[in-house]
Amino acid sequence: MEKVIGIDLGTFNSCVSVVEGGTPVVIANRGGYKVTPSMVAVTEAGKRLVGHIAKRQAVTNAENTVYAAKRLIGRKWDSPQVKNALATAPYHIVEGPHGDCRLELRDKVYSIPEVSAMILQEMKMIAEDYLGVEVPKAVVTVPAYFNDGQRQATKDAGAIAGLDVIRIINEPTAAALAYGFGKNIDRTVAVYDLGGGTFDISVLEISSTGVFKVISTAGDTFLGGEDFDQRIIDWLVQGFQEEHDIDLRQDRMALQRLKDAAEKAKCELSAVIETEVNLPFIISSARNDALHLQRVLTRAQFEDLTGDLVQRTAQICEMTLDEAGLEKDEIEDVILVGGMTRMPQVQRSVSEFFEREPCKGVHPDEVVALGASIQGAALVDDSPEMDMVLLDVTPHTLGIMVVGGYFEELIHQNTTVPTSRTQTFTTVRDNQTAVKILVLQGESRRADENELLGEFVLTGLRKAKTGEVELDVTFEINADGIVSVHAKNLETGDEQSITVTATSGLTKDEVEEMMEDAHDYAVGRREDEETEKARQEAETLIDEIEKLFPEVEQVVAGSDFGRDAIDKARTVVERARTLIERGDVPGLKEQIDALARTQRMFKGVVGKSG
């Protein structure tokens, strides 16, 4: 059976899973970790680092270490989210050629999908190491509240990483799948997902026939753990400023250390009621004295600092229930997802809001990836145990701009996807030969307050009187939540199909070019690993042979045959050394056989003498 992996591409951590023998399992990386930091760095030598090794060097290489790229994916350069990131991120965000934003690491500029692709590629390799085969197909999760641009960009990231992303599913829906899979239950559940960067809430109906139907979903793609960390950072920075009149924000290295310390303090406060932030030598004073930062933060203080953030999630829950037309007591179980739901205040707020204790059975860091792999298996496996139907909804209203700058709704938010809607347009002027349509997503009545997905122009219309030419335009949202538009000239029957390309996205050519780069990297890295393996094997053998040389010489040096054998052994070792230096893997692999033969011979000689 073909394997499809499920990848939870998180803002801060990513996780990969696969279904084996009907059971979804999370795959650990070589270090034994089940989650991998969604971090990418470029070292001074130009080497790319992904995951734990990128995280470990983040403090000393803050400017060239990217975290939370997901917050920027599919965002426009002039969006408030990018402005916010510009003010707080230690790495360089620059304007891209399509009104998008890009990242500058060392002297190279990367698009956000390219950076996300590096993480996806890492997850793919973790799965391939475990499964021992190539896995070209994946289901990737995104926050439910992602719009079309963000989904398209995530798909682009998959393509760049050499993955066929067979479905994009929403994170809370994936969590519900993992929760309900194989349980044969009929239940209405809410999934509360507070991760590192985003908040999502979804209400679903799970039926014992295997149907998972989302009723409503809402969220905020800029509300997550990082905002909690930021509150601690602000508090520390302010305290330090009051004491020393120095703004630590001006120092990138200090800022990165503050970030790490803030996150650590936050996590500790989930378990203990007070913690000390201790950062020796954080900065030097004007007189060159080393200054230290040391402060105690209590859980109560921290809850004070972040109460409004938790409150905001409760308001969004309220909205979702309203949209679903459900009362709180109709929710039979609440599933917590995301690392931030370990925070006691969050758990308390959820219990108070839903008036019930959240379900304890799911692992908040792994449940999304597990759900993604279940969906992946269900898409390729027709056996009865994988028989399930996932019905998700579109998180945003889709519409077009009409006269006066208003937004005309075509597909309402929370409509089950896939879905489509056809609208007939007529010309509004005599002899009009082209019609331009602006496609938007959002909830505002005013078009300019919504997200512009793209625009398209239908040209070549027959010159005629106003209203005589009619066009049917069909707006479609597929199961990935991605929008496409088709138009048909009713007079000529001509079809025109337009994929709405996000204005902030990448062109097809760019994606292809990046795919090649990423492929070269994958090949390069695999070779690296092979070289390392061959080198280690050869060096071990060389070591053993060298250790045996004196003894062997003593035994055999008396005969020509013996001297000859020793000379040959030296040549074998020297050649192996040269091949190691040259990094000649095929040559070294062949030479390993010769080394092994020499080692066996030496052992034989020594064995005989002893």
- Tokens encoding 608: 């005989």
Q: Residue 117 is inside which H or E element, if any? A: helix 112-131
d(CA 119, CA 31): 16
Of 350 and 458, which CB lies nearer to ligand AMP in the complex structure?
350
Of 373 and 427, which CB lies nearer to ligand AMP in the complex structure?
373
- Tell me, yes or no, if 264 is annotated catalytic: no
Residue type, 353: F
Of 128 and 193, which CB lies nearer to ligand AMP in the complex structure?
193
Which of 113, 149, 195, 505 touches ligand AMP by CB under 6 A? Answer: 195
d(CA 387, CA 398): 31
Tell me the per-residue interface mask from 448 to 477 with ligand AMP, x by CB under 6 A, - otherwise. Answer: ------------------------------
Which of 96, 113, 225, 442 touches ligand AMP by CB under 6 A? Answer: 225
From the list 35, 112, 86, 316, the residue with the least C-alpha distance to 194 is: 316
Helix (H, G, I), strand (E, B) or coil at 218: strand
Name residue 50's beta-bridge partners: 40
Q: Which stretch binds ligand AMP (CB under 6 A): 10-18, 93-101, 452-460, 539-547?
A: 10-18
Of 110 and 228, which CB lies nearer to ligand AMP in the complex structure?
228
Which residues touch 583 (CB under 8 Å, ≥6 apart)? 531
d(CA 238, CA 232): 10
* Interactions with ligand AMP, residue window 283-342 (CB under 6 A): 338-340, 342
φ, ψ at 88 (rounded to 5°):
-115, -25
d(CA 13, CA 37): 4
- Tell me, yes or no, if 528 is annotated catalytic: no
- Tell me, yes or no, if 8 is annotated catalytic: yes
Q: Could you say which of 3, 55, 70, 155 is catalytic?
A: 70
Q: Which stretch binds ligand AMP (CB under 6 A): 18-26, 75-83, 265-273, 533-541?
A: 265-273
37 binds ligand AMP (CB under 6 A): no
Of 197 and 505, which CB lies nearer to ligand AMP in the complex structure?
197
Tell me the per-residue interface mask from 154 to 193 with ligand AMP, x by CB under 6 A, - otherwise. Answer: ----------------------------------------
Q: What is the DSSP letter of 127?
A: H
Residue type, 533: K
Which of 4, 7, 13, 335 touches ligand AMP by CB under 6 A? Answer: 13
Torsion sign, CA atoms 188, 173, 36, 112: negative
* Interactions with ligand AMP, residue window 514-533 (CB under 6 A): none
Of 9 and 487, which CB lies nearer to ligand AMP in the complex structure?
9
12 binds ligand AMP (CB under 6 A): yes
Which of 5, 6, 9, 10 touches ligand AMP by CB under 6 A? Answer: 10
Which of 196, 376, 399, 505 touches ligand AMP by CB under 6 A? Answer: 196
Which residues touch 571 (CB under 8 Å, ≥6 apart)? none
In 89-198, which ranges are continuous DSSP H helix?
A: 112-131, 148-160, 171-180
- Tokens encoding 524: 């390069």
Nearest distance in Å: CB 37, ligand AMP? 9
Nearest distance in Å: CB 12, ligand AMP? 4
Of 267 and 594, which CB lies nearer to ligand AMP in the complex structure?
267
d(CA 166, CA 547): 55
Of 267 and 596, which CB lies nearer to ligand AMP in the complex structure?
267
Which of 190, 262, 310, 343 touches ligand AMP by CB under 6 A? Answer: 343
- Tell me, yes or no, if 171 is annotated catalytic: yes
Which of 109, 267, 380, 391 touches ligand AMP by CB under 6 A? Answer: 267
d(CA 380, CA 559): 68
DSSP string of 530-563? HHHHHHHHHHHHHHHHHHHHHHHHHHHTTSHHHH
Nearest distance in Å: CB 198, ligand AMP? 8
d(CA 597, CA 591): 10
227 binds ligand AMP (CB under 6 A): no
Q: Could you say which of 148, 193, 200, 220 is catalytic?
A: 193
DSSP string of 56-78? HTTTTTGGGEE--GGGTTT-BTT
Q: Could you say which of 114, 122, 148, 171 is catalytic?
A: 171
Name residue 355's beta-bridge partners: none
d(CA 556, CA 558): 5
φ, ψ at 226 (rounded to 5°):
-65, -30
Query: Which residue's CB atom is positioned nearest to ligand AMP?
Result: 225
Of 336 and 538, which CB lies nearer to ligand AMP in the complex structure?
336
Length of the chain: 610
Binding site for ligand AMP (CB under 6 A): 10-13, 195-196, 225-226, 263, 266-267, 270, 338-340, 342-343, 365
Known catalytic residues?
8, 70, 171, 193
